[in-house]
Amino acid sequence: MITPPPYPASRPRRLRRDAAIRSMVREHRLAPEDFILPVFVFDGDGPPQDVASMPGVQRRSIAGVLEQAEQCVALGVPAIALFPVIDAALKTPDGVEATNPEGLVPRAVRAIKHRFPGLCVLTDVALDPYTSHGQDGLLDDTGYILNDPTVAMLTKQALVQAAAGVDIVAPSDMMDGRIGAIRHALEAAGHVHTRIMAYSAKYASAFYGPFRDAVGSAGNLGKADKKVYQMDPGNSDEALREVALDIAEGADLVMVKPGMPYLDIVRRVKDEFRVPTFAYQVSGEYAMLKAAAANGWIDHDAVMMESLLAFKRAGADGVLTYFALDAARLLARR
Ligand code: PBG
């Protein structure tokens, strides 16, 4: 019989004994500058409208979005991402409203940059809020999403956003070659400072459900899905190929989406490429945490912070999260 040693060879618990030592050896921490706040904007005036499947999130007028922008500035959240709720009457099969220089998004960008020039503004480059069928691109007769004609439309959309003064365009459509096409067009138009954050590894995920309610594209999309352009959840190496393409085509920052179920992808991307890597804690992730917290099954604030910290640990440089303001407020109180 082997006699056990009288003492453990090592006592890792020494470094967990009290709050002071824990804080000294902590490897990752959260700060307000880790967050990007996604906001939903509608045209016209009126009070904020609750999004039923996203408790605590509202659709807002441009004036309402300016109030949120002010909160970001006050709390040190450096960036805001705009998602438009487009009037049904403006939706068409080709989504051409996306390229209107006087459309909702360019007006919202100008308003925010005018009031808060130091706040970084991101805009989504994708057609789904603008198409009558709710897909991110143009369709052929069989309903297949056409690549190159879609890229041509997205390029116009990105140019309009850049001309309005947006800091970062974020193509979220997953068409082939769109980063290169957009980068080329931006350069040719003299928008040399406009950054591209590519939704490089964007999966065909069921976690986007509440977002589609929020922007009002769920009804347009119906039972259709986006599997012929967004990535298969079973794939991991493919994410690295997508990121490699986007970097080669001119992306400044890359993104993985959804977030928590795909932290393995965040880590692989960061380790492989060492470029600024972001993750999107999407609407369905937010809704799950909110629902469980509302039932008293989990502690809202504790789980919010733990979920966000997980992104940092996985290697993300920042997180798009609907919790941005709540988390920043909590950090300010500490
Ligand atoms: C649109 C877009 C989507 C999201 C961001 N941009 C939805 C989709 O691809 O269907 C999802 C964000 C979220 O769920 O929070 N291209």
Can you tell me the ipTM of this complex? 0.96
Distance CA 220, CA 217 (A): 5
257 is catalytic: yes
The mean pLDDT value for 71-92 works out to 98
- CA-nearest of 271, 268, 275, 279 to 246 is 275
Distance 23 CA to ligand 1 centre (A): 36
The DSSP bridge pattern shows strands 49-50 and 58-60 to be antiparallel
Pocket of ligand 1 from Cβ distances under 6 Å: 124, 126, 128, 136, 172, 208, 211-212, 226, 282-283
Closest ligand 1 atom to residue 124 Cα is 6
Q: For residue 218, what pLDDT is reported?
A: 87
Is a pLDDT exceeding 90 seen at residue 5?
A: no
Q: What is the pLDDT of residues 194-224, one digit of tens each?
A: 999 999 999 999 999 999 989 888 888 999 9
Angle value at C-alpha 155, between 40 and 153, nearest 5 degrees? 80
Is a pLDDT exceeding 90 seen at residue 73?
A: yes
DSSP string, 38-51: EEEEESS----EE-
Q: Is residue 67 part of a domain?
A: yes
Residue 137 belongs to a domain with what CATH number? 3.20.20.70
Q: Is residue 70 part of a domain?
A: yes
Closest ligand 1 atom to residue 38 Cα is 15
pTM higher than 0.90 for the full model?
yes
Q: For residue 217, what pLDDT is reported?
A: 86
Residue range(s) defining the domain that contains residue 193? 29-333
Q: Which residues does 45 contact at the CB level (< 8 Å), separation at least 6?
A: 61, 63
Selecting among 113, 156, 257, 312, the annotated active-site residue is 257
Q: What is the pLDDT of residues 9-54, one digit of tens each?
A: 999 999 999 999 999 999 999 999 999 999 999 999 999 999 999 9
Selecting among 202, 226, 270, 290, the annotated active-site residue is 202
202 is catalytic: yes
Distance 82 CA to ligand 1 centre (A): 12
Confidence at 117, pLDDT banded by 50, 70, 90: very high
Q: Which tokens in the block code for residue 285? A: 């992730």
DSSP letter, residue 89? G
Q: What is the pLDDT of residues 140-173, one digit of tens each?
A: 999 999 999 999 999 999 999 999 999 999 999 9
Distance 312 CA to ligand 1 centre (A): 22
Q: For residue 216, what pLDDT is reported?
A: 86
Distances (CA, A) of 297 to 46, 54, 131, 290, 304: 35, 17, 39, 10, 13
Q: For residue 150, what pLDDT is reported?
A: 98
Q: Is residue 265 part of a domain?
A: yes
In the chain, how many domains are there?
A: 1
Q: Is residue 102 part of a domain?
A: yes
Q: For residue 321, what pLDDT is reported?
A: 98
